[in-house]
Structures are given as C-alpha cells and as structure tokens.
C-alpha cells in the first residue's frame, strides 16, 4: 500500500524496517547497567503450571526485565527528575520525519585514563543533512551484528558529547534514537550531562522530548530521510520498551 505525503513523496507500508532488539530470556539477550538477563518463566502454583510442554493447558508466563538494561527502550525526562514523569503518551503521532545518520566515533582519553569512543558535536553536525527534522536515528560505526547480543556493562561504550544537544536544538529534534545503551558516558559520577541538556533539566523540563536507546539500524538502510513510526508500550514509567520502525521515502515521478 502506498501512503502519499503532502509534498508528493510516498512510503510503501510493507517496507517498514524494525530497528528494535527483541527481548528473550537467553543469555544472548543484550544487557547493560549490570543487570542479569531477562527472566521469562511459567507461572506455577497449586499443582498447576503455565507451560503446555509440562502438562499445562496454556502457556502463561511471567516476564521480569528492566527497560533501561534489556533492549530497545524509549525514555523521558522522568529518568532524571525527582518529580515523576511518565513516557506514556509523549509519542503522539503515527509518523515522524526522520533522518538516519552513520557516525564513526573518535578516540579520547578520559580523566580515568581510559580511551573513550565519543561522538562529538563536529562529527554529528557534519553527518546530519536536514535543516529541521523531528527525529534522528544514529548508527554508530562499525555496525556489526554483535550489537544484537552485546553485554555492555563495564565496557565503556560509545557516548555523545553534551554539546551535540546544541545541534539537536537547532534542528528542532523531538525524538533522538541511538544504538548505544546511553547517550552519556557509562561512568560519569551521575552527571548525565547529555540527558540534562537534552531535557533542559532543571531549567524548563522539556516534556515533549524522548531518547530511545539500544536500537539497531541494519546496513540495508542507507543514510538519509525516512518516516519513523515510534511504537511504545503503554507503561506508566520513565521508560518503556519500544519498537522504532522506519520507512524509506519514495519520490513520486508522475
């Protein structure tokens, strides 16, 4: 099915590319922030088991996981505020104008003597081609399949300099999506400079904006403009599991 846009371009609704990581109780499930793998197990009690393979009438499982540490998730400013803010309801449109950019981070020695991999303002500014855009998806390079099952804890993964937010503000970005476990450095003494700058905390507390982490943009998706369908589970929490789906734009040649 073709879905036409006001500018004459269109998307094909069967061409959506899922940029989320699935949740499983396998040790291959990606993890971050020192949490163990998710647990998916049948309910048991009073001689009954929620597993057909074990004699139960239905499969009836409990799932224990952490949205920040167990895969693709979307978060709001409630992640860093004393006041409770929920991410539920912030995504209020079916489709957002989006750009996919690929960026290779640069190396930099941090105060602890470790070599960081950092995406700087200059790298980000050079990668984005839009003048204004509602959403940006960042694919860090290299883009190996190990991202599908990587255990990030205590690995000092790629992060973003806080002044990248200046570019996001200029572009009027509402939704920022990245394929790393955090926009900030793993061990930064709780400063979370990028998070605070992006949500303007504590100055104005921008409730419109979201950050989506631990996405995966396949190599088949070239850099450029797309439409983004950001699907979020209706959890009343600062973060929720999410499923970003992007659709390539086609030009109407009629």
Per-residue pLDDT at 254 exceeds 60: no
CATH superfamily of this structure's domain 2-24+68-248? Putative cyclase (3.50.30.50)
| pTM, full prediction | 0.96
Looking at every residue in the chain, the average pLDDT score rounds to 96
Predicted pLDDT at 87: 98
Is residue 253 pLDDT above 70, yes or no?
Answer: no
Q: H/E element holding 224?
A: strand 224-232
Alpha-carbon distance of 192 to 162, in angstroms, equals 9
pLDDT, tens digit, for every residue of 21-54?
A: 999 999 999 999 999 999 999 999 999 999 999 9
Q: Kindly list the domain boundaries of the chain, sorted by start residue.
A: 2-24+68-248
Q: Record the tokens describing residue 202, joined without a space.
A: 């504590």
The pLDDT of residue 128: 98
Q: What is the pLDDT of residue 164?
A: 98
Q: Among all chains, which residue has been given the structure tokens 């390079």?
A: 141
Return d(Cα 236, Cα 225) in angstroms, integer. 31
Closest CA to 76 of 195, 173, 189, 183: 195
Residues sharing a CB contact under 8 Å with residue 149, sequence separation 6 or more, in sequence order: 28, 29, 30
Main-chain dihedrals φ then ψ at residue 110, nearest 5 degrees: -90, 175
């Amino acid at each position: 099915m073709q879905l036409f846009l006001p500018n004459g371009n269109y998307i094909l609704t069967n061409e959506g590319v899922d940029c989320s990581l699935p949740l499983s109780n396998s040790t291959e499930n990606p993890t971050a922030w020192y949490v163990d793998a998710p647990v998916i197990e049948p309910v048991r009690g009073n001689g009954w088991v929620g597993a057909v393979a074990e004699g139960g009438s239905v499969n009836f499982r409990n799932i224990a996981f952490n949205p920040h540490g167990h895969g693709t998730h979307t978060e709001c400013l409630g992640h860093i505020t004393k006041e409770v803010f929920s991410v539920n309801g912030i995504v209020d449109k079916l489709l957002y104008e989006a750009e996919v950019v690929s960026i290779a981070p640069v190396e930099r020695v941090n105060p602890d003597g470790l070599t960081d991999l950092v995406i700087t303002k200059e790298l980000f500014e050079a990668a984005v081609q839009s003048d204004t855009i509602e959403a940006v998806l960042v694919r860090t390079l290299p883009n190996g399949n190990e991202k599908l099952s990587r255990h990030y804890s205590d690995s000092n993964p790629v992060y973003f300099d806080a002044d990248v937010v200046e570019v996001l503000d200029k572009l009027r970005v509402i939704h920022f999506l990245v394929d790393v476990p955090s926009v900030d450095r793993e061990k930064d003494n709780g400063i979370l400079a990028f998070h605070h700058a992006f949500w303007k905390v504590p100055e104005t507390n921008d409730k419109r904006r979201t950050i989506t982490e631990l996405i995966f943009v396949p190599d088949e998706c070239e850099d450029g403009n797309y439409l983004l369908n950001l699907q979020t589970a209706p959890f009343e929490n600062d973060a929720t599991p999410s499923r970003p789906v992007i659709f390539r734009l086609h030009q109407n040649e009629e």
